[in-house]
Amino acid sequence: MSLERLQGLERSAVMPTYKRLPVEFVRGEGALLWDDEGREYLDLLAGIAVDNAGHCHPDVVAAVTGQVSKLIHVSNLFYTQPGMELASRLSESSLGGLVFLCNSGAEANEAAIKLARRHKPGGNFVVLEGAFHGRTMGALSATPQPEKQAPFAPLVPGFSAVCADVTAITAAVNDETAAVLIEPIQGEGGIYPVPDDVLVAAREACDRHGALLIFDEVQTGAGRTGSLWAYQQTSVVPDAMTIAKGVGAGFPVGALITSASCPTSLVAGDHGSTFAGGPVTAAAALASLGVVAAEDLLTNVKVLGAKLMDGLAQLPGVERVRGRGLMIGADISGDAPAVVLAALQQEALVINATGPSTLRFVPPLVITKAQIDAALERLSRLPLA
């Protein structure tokens, strides 16, 4: 079907919540995508930090096709192996506690919010200014952006936002605080790593007041920053973390994971999800984790991330570069959304803007050095200034 026909269907049938770029992708492999006319694109977005193992990784394809022909769904009223194995794998690779599987980042944060209220009934939440935790009502209440929140008021009560600053966070946490929720690197907000001293201050304030420190690793997780989870490169261990995006290789998998020492768990009847931990999505996640948890891949993420950051910093029009591993933001003097469109159409390069002047780079983690060079070359021809 032609792009024009798809756009016609969109106009007549699709609720207009997304602003799509004018291209139809039909195939992907590694860090490459192809459109319906056979044009090859270099992908530095990875479906928004999702295709961490690369498009259609053979291990993921084999795991999914193997599982899908045997059993697709039976619900959490029964045992299936992939879901149990995934929970175990996630726990032992991270905080060592208990796992609640779900289907998205927002759902993982909803579970985290319920965990915190279970921990301290009636308690409040502290989040950071500029945060993004999702678009369901609880997660939206934790996302202090007036343009996203205002049309849907009243929100869930009990959320307050502070700037990422030691004094501010220390002052904001008190005995009524159930949890502090932080993205170790703010993603949608423009790739802002939260300084280590702020994370330490949050940890100390939570310990002082019996609050949970919860990291939202939905975007930073699954190898994105050069360690399997981003907290592993900070000096802080949270009581719980939420993950999604890169975990399922493109299949809808999210999770709330507690630490071995987390004083609270959700209990029978507290929470649930019909699809969660299903055998096909869990098989995809297990195969994908096998790829992105490999030490040599994680080392490569750090090396290639540094290379991309250096290269970006040298391009005319680039004013600032931030990030860790292959999660990189670049402020430019030019118009970022216009650069994104030009990159797609003129240079067959898939990138994204988190705001009017910030470009985001979150490529598949299997991207090669040669592909990073090619991306920088293509970027150098774009109107960044």
Ligand X SMILES: *Cc1c(COP(=O)(O)O)cnc(C)c1O
Q: Which of 43, 51, 215, 245 is catalytic?
A: 245
Q: Which of 43, 51, 216, 239 is catalytic?
A: 216
Q: Does 219 bind ligand X (CB under 6 A)?
A: yes
The count of residues interacting with ligand X (CB under 6 A) is 15
Q: Which is nearer to ligand X, 205 or 244 (CB)?
A: 244
Q: Which of 100, 132, 159, 361 is catalytic?
A: 132
159-162 vs 124-128, strand pairing mode: parallel
Q: Which is nearer to ligand X, 218 or 256 (CB)?
A: 218
Residue with tokens 């994680």: 298
Q: Which of 297, 331, 307, 266 lies closest to 108 in space, CA to CA?
A: 266
Q: Does 224 bind ligand X (CB under 6 A)?
A: no
Question: Angle CA(223)–CA(224)–CA(230) in degrees, nearest 5?
Answer: 75
What distance in Å separates the CA atoms of residue 53 and residue 50, rounded to the nearest whole number?
Answer: 8
Residue from 54, 134, 363, 364 that binds ligand X (CB under 6 A)?
134
- Has 132 been annotated as catalytic? yes
Q: Which is nearer to ligand X, 105 or 190 (CB)?
A: 105
Q: Which is nearer to ligand X, 334 or 363 (CB)?
A: 363
Q: Which is nearer to ligand X, 43 or 188 (CB)?
A: 188
| Window contacting ligand X (CB under 6 A); options: 102-110, 259-267, 283-291, 322-330 | 102-110
Q: Which residue is nearest to ligand X (CB)?
A: 105
Q: Does 234 bind ligand X (CB under 6 A)?
A: no
Residue from 67, 104, 225, 234 that binds ligand X (CB under 6 A)?
104
Instruction: Find the shortest distance in angstroms from Cβ 216 to ligand X.
Output: 5
Q: Which is nearer to ligand X, 32 or 224 (CB)?
A: 224
Instruction: Find the shortest distance in angstroms from Cβ 49 to ligand X.
Output: 7
Instruction: Find the shortest distance in angstroms from Cβ 1 to ligand X.
Output: 26
Residue with tokens 């975007």: 219
| Window contacting ligand X (CB under 6 A); options: 211-219, 221-229, 258-266, 348-356 | 211-219
Instruction: Find the shortest distance in angstroms from Cβ 336 to ligand X.
Output: 18
Residue from 202, 218, 255, 353 that binds ligand X (CB under 6 A)?
218
Q: Which is nearer to ligand X, 194 or 382 (CB)?
A: 194
Instruction: Find the shortest distance in angstroms from Cβ 255 to ligand X.
Output: 12
What distance in Å separates the CA atoms of residue 168 and residue 146, rounded to the nearest whole number?
Answer: 20
* SS3 per residue for the chain: CCHHHHHHHHHHHCCCCCCCCCCCEEEEEECEEEECCCCEEEECCHHHHCCCCCECCHHHHHHHHHHHCCCCCCCCCCCCHHHHHHHHHHHHCCCEEEEEEECCHHHHHHHHHHHHHHHCCCCEEEEECCCCCCCCHHHHHCCCCHHHHHHHCCCCCCEEEECCCHHHHHHHCCCCEEEEEECCEECCCCCEECCHHHHHHHHHHHHHHCCEEEEECCCCCCCCCCCCCHHHHCCCCCCEEEECHHHHCCCCCEEEEEECCCCCCCCCCCCCCCCCCCHHHHHHHHHHHHHHCCHHHHHHHHHHHHHHHHHHHCCCCEEEEEEECCEEEEEECCCHHHHHHHHHHHHCEECEEEECCEEEECCCCCCCHHHHHHHHHHHHCCCCC
Instruction: Find the shortest distance in angstroms from Cβ 149 to ligand X.
Output: 15
Q: Does 133 bind ligand X (CB under 6 A)?
A: yes
| Window contacting ligand X (CB under 6 A); options: 28-36, 100-108, 266-274, 357-365 | 100-108
- Contact set for ligand X, span 244-283 (CB under 6 A): 244-245
- Contact set for ligand X, span 180-209 (CB under 6 A): 183, 187-188
- Has 245 been annotated as catalytic? yes
Q: Does 238 bind ligand X (CB under 6 A)?
A: no
Q: What is the dihedral of CA 283, 286, 292, 294, to 10 degrees?
A: -140
Q: Does 162 bind ligand X (CB under 6 A)?
A: no
* Residue 280 near residue 68, CB atoms below 8 Å: yes
Q: Does 106 bind ligand X (CB under 6 A)?
A: yes
What amino acid positions are annotated as catalytic residues? 132, 216, 245
Instruction: Tell me which residues touch ligand X (CB under 6 A).
Output: 104-106, 109, 132-134, 183, 187-188, 216, 218-219, 244-245
